[in-house]
Amino acid sequence: MPPRDHPPLLAVVATTREVLDHPELHEGLLAPWERRRLDRIRVPGRRDDVTAARLLVRLCVARFTGLPPEASGPDQYCDTCRRHGHGRPYLSRRPGLGVSLSHADGLVAAAVGPGPVGVDVEPAARRPGPLPVLRRLLPATELREAAAAPDPDAALLRLWVRGEARFKAGGRAGLRLLDWTDRDRAAVAAVAGAGPVTVIACADPVSGRPG
């Protein structure tokens, strides 16, 4: 029986470098279909980011479930094309858990927890897209508040990552949202899920040693 209170959702932010340098992680953990997908990425930095995100999500899932990292990789399924290999990630071994990953210019994030989960990370210096685009994607009242904030660019970026996290979690009502700034990594991140969130910013979420 599931516990009455949601167990906390685990979210991790790291730099791509921290993950690629992690002693327990290597590309051999990736599934053949993931490696085939990586082989099609021509920009080396982007390939590293995607690799790191897929490795970090394994560490995250391994810590949360107790499964070994090699058994912690998410599958993906696209509702639109009804095909595997892209689209929303899910854990076939733990159907009750949600999983999410994100990467952006040398930064990666991963999250796992009960029910739907979404995570997004962006460089803190990034400026979110033009207002007409934001208007189509984000609630008008929140946009107005962000535009009136003392630092509108930072407030809009925070709104953006929250919107992305909510979208990745399926966008349903009742999701909890948490955003935070990781100053050491110059990152802004947000996570959406059904329960309270434990955020770990470190290169070693398996040991839980703070980074």
Q: What residues line the site for Zn ion (CB under 5 A)?
A: 78, 80-81
Supply the minimum distance, in Å, between the C-beta of residue 137 and Zn ion.
20
Closer of 81 and 149 to Zn ion (Cβ) = 81
Closer of 80 and 92 to Zn ion (Cβ) = 80
Q: At what angle do helices 140-147 and 152-168 cross, to 10 degrees?
A: 150
Supply the minimum distance, in Å, between the C-beta of residue 135 and Zn ion.
26
Residue 5's region, left for phi above 0, alpha for psi from -120 to 50, else beta, is beta
Residue showing the smallest CB distance to Zn ion in the complex: 78
Q: Which residues of 71-94 are buried (b: 16+ CB within 10 A; e: fewer)?
A: ebbbbbbeeeeeeeeeebbbbeeb
Supply the minimum distance, in Å, between the C-beta of residue 88 and Zn ion.
10
Closer of 78 and 125 to Zn ion (Cβ) = 78
Count CB-CB contacts under 10 A for residue 209. Answer: 10
DSSP 8-class letter at 29:
G
DSSP H stretches of helix in 66-119: none
Closer of 13 and 50 to Zn ion (Cβ) = 50
